[in-house]
Amino acid sequence: MELEHFKDLWPKDTVKGQKQDEYLLSLIGKRSNSPIAKMKRNLRWELIAVIVLYSIGIVYYFFAFGGKMIEISWFMIVLGLLFVAYYLRKNKLLNEMQCVTCQVKSHLEKQLGTLEKYIRFYLIAGNLMFPVTMLIVGYIAIVIYPAKLNDSRSIWNSEALQQLAVKYLLITIVISFVLYFVNRWYVNRLYGRHVRKLREMLNDMEEQANT
């Protein structure tokens, strides 16, 4: 059968199974179930959870133990601010990812470009989070606290603490290295197929007439 023949049989203005007004009105109030909308909602929940949990932690360590562990509060404030920056960047990229009113080709280009930026950002943030956290925790635990709790013993005069610091650094480096590969594998598993699919569709659209 030729496509022209199929075209003659193709329904033009109406199809059966038309939805009623009430049904359409009920859809208007619904939330989008697109993966991008879900990612935005999850990100918002993540932000709320971080704000609530970190606020409790910050207040606790600010007053607990007579204020001796106040550094932990500052550490959590720094991490909280970094998370807010992470949230803003991710939210901006997710907003840019969808342009449903654009021409199909520019929508796909936009989606691919933004998704690649999103993946890069995800990888960088994911790879930095572990070593940065470990270094700050190590600094508090190995450098600040021994000196605070026992004036005669600090990293500058204790061989045991120096050895501990070296071991701690080595472990951090090794785990960070392993995590880099785990992160790459995970990001590829999450988004790799979508990126390949988008590229494929764009290639299909960009295919030149003389090829």
Question: Residues in the site for another protein, rule: CB under 8 A?
Answer: 1-3, 6-7, 9-19, 21, 24-25, 27-28, 30-36, 97-108, 111, 115, 194-195, 197-198, 200-201, 204-205, 207-209
Interatomic CA distance for residues 114 and 109, integer angstroms: 8
- Beta carbon of residue 117, minimum distance to another protein (angstroms, whole number): 15
- Beta carbon of residue 94, minimum distance to another protein (angstroms, whole number): 11
- Beta carbon of residue 88, minimum distance to another protein (angstroms, whole number): 21
Structure tokens at 189: 């598993």
Residue closer to another protein, measured from CB, 32 or 55: 32
Q: How many residues does the structure list for the chain?
A: 211
The residue among 99, 101, 127, 125 whose CA lies nearest residue 112 is 99
Residue closer to another protein, measured from CB, 34 or 55: 34
Structure tokens at 167: 């071991």
Residue closer to another protein, measured from CB, 6 or 181: 6
14 phi and psi angles, rounded to 5 deg: -135, 155
Interatomic CA distance for residues 104 and 205, integer angstroms: 10
Residue closer to another protein, measured from CB, 9 or 149: 9
